[in-house]
Amino acid sequence: MKLFPVYILLALLLGFCSESKKKDLEKKNGTTEKPNIVFIMSDDHAYQAISAYNNNLIETPNIDRIAKMGMLFTNASVTNSICAPSRATILTGKHSHLNGKIDNVSPFDTTNVTFPQLLQKAGYQTAMFGKLHFGNNPKGFDQFKILPGQGSYYNPDFITKNEGEIQVQGYVTDIITDMTLEWLKKERVEEKPFMLMYLHKAPHRSWYMAERHMQEFTNKTFEEPETLFDDYEGMPAAKVAEMRINGDMGWAADSKLYPDVMDKLGLKEQIGFDKRRFSNSYERLDSTQKANFDAAYRPVAEKFINDFSNMTEKEIAQWRYQRYMQDYLGTIKSVDENVGRVLDYLEANNLIENTIIVYTSDQGFYLGEHGWFDKRFVYDESFKTPLLVSWPNRIQPGSVSDELVQNLDFAQTFLEAAKVEQPEDMQGKSMLPVLTNDLENWNREAVYYHYYEHPSEHNVNRHYAVVTKDYKLIHYYFDLDYWELIDRKKDPLEQHNYYDDPAYATVKEALHQKLNQLREEYGDSNALSQQYIDDFMPLAKEGKVWGVEDHILEPIVEKWENMKQKQ
Ligand code: SGN
Ligand code: CA
Mutation test residue for ligand 1: of 108, 131, 457, 544, the one with most atoms within 8 Å of CB: 457
CA distance 504 to 485: 9
Whose alpha carbon is nearest atom 12 of ligand 1? 83
Looking at the chain, the number of H-run helices and the number of E-run strands are: 18, 14
Atom of ligand 1 nearest to the CA of 376: 10
Residues whose CB falls within 8 Å of the CB of residue 439, separated by 6 or more in sequence, listed in order: 403, 433
pLDDT band at 20 (very low <50, low <70, confident <90, very high): low
pLDDT above 60: residue 26: no
| DSSP per-residue string spanning 67-124 | HHHSEEESS-B-SS-SHHHHHHHHHHSS-HHHHS--SSSSPP-TTS--HHHHHHHTT-
List the one residue out of 184, 185, 157, 204 whose CA is nearest residue 335: 204
| Pocket probe mutation, ligand 1, options 78, 102, 134, 205, max atoms within 8 Å of Cβ | 205
Kindly tell me if the per-residue pLDDT of 251 is higher than 50.
Answer: yes
- Residue 131 near residue 199 (C-beta atoms within 8 A): yes
**Cα–Cα distance for residue pair 375/364, rounded to 1 Å:** 7
Question: What pLDDT score was predicted for residue 24?
Answer: 52
Mutate to test the pocket of ligand 1, among 101, 132, 146, 150 (most ligand atoms within 8 A of CB): 150
Residues contacting 207, CB < 8 A, separation 6+: 254, 324, 327, 328, 330, 331
pLDDT, tens digit, 9 for 90 and up, residues 112-155: 999 999 999 999 999 999 999 999 999 999 999 999 999 999 99
The alpha carbon of 205 and the centre of ligand 1 are apart by a number of angstroms equal to 6
Q: Under DSSP, is residue 154 helix (H, G, I), strand (E, B) or coil? A: strand
Question: How many angstroms is it from 270 CA to the middle of ligand 1?
Answer: 15
Residue 11 has pLDDT above 70, yes or no: no
Q: What is the dihedral of CA 342, 348, 354, 359, to 10 degrees?
A: 20
- pLDDT for 272 equals 72
Burial class (CB in 10 A: 0-12, 13-18, 19+), 303: exposed
Distance between CA atoms of 267 and 348, rounded to whole angstroms? 52
Whole-angstrom Cα distance, residue 107 to residue 78?
Answer: 20
**pLDDT for 260:** 97
DSSP 422: P
Instruction: State the first-to-last Cα distance of the chain, in angstroms, to the nearest integer.
Output: 87
Average pLDDT over residues 299-324: 98
The confidence score (pLDDT) of residue 32 equals 52
- Residues pairing with 197 in the sheet: 39, 128
337-394, pLDDT tens digit by residue? 999 999 999 999 999 999 999 999 999 999 999 999 999 999 999 999 999 999 998 9
pLDDT bracket for residue 270 (50, 70, 90): confident
Domains of the chain in sequence order:
34-207+333-444 (3.40.720.10), 211-326 (no CATH), 450-566 (no CATH)
What's the pLDDT band for 557 if we cut at 50, 70, 90? very high
Closest C-alpha among 144, 124, 143 to residue 193: 124
* b/e sequence 507-527, b meaning 16+ C-beta within 10 Å: bbeebeebbeebbeebebeee
Between 4-18, 91-105, 167-181, 486-500, the lowest mean confidence (pLDDT) is in: 4-18
What are 356's strand-pairing partners? Answer: 37
Give the nearest ligand 1 atom to 84 CA: 20
Ligand with smallest separation from the Cα of 205: 1
- Which of 275, 234, 246, 120 lies closest to 485, judged by CA? 234
Percent of the chain whose predicted confidence (pLDDT) is above 90? 91
> CB-based burial of residue 425 (10 Å sphere; 0-12 exposed, 13-18 middle, 19+ buried)?
exposed
CB contact set of 15 (below 8 Å; sequence gap of 6+): none
Give the pLDDT band of residue 1 (cuts 50, 70, 90): very low
- Cis peptide preceding 392, ω within 30 of 0: no
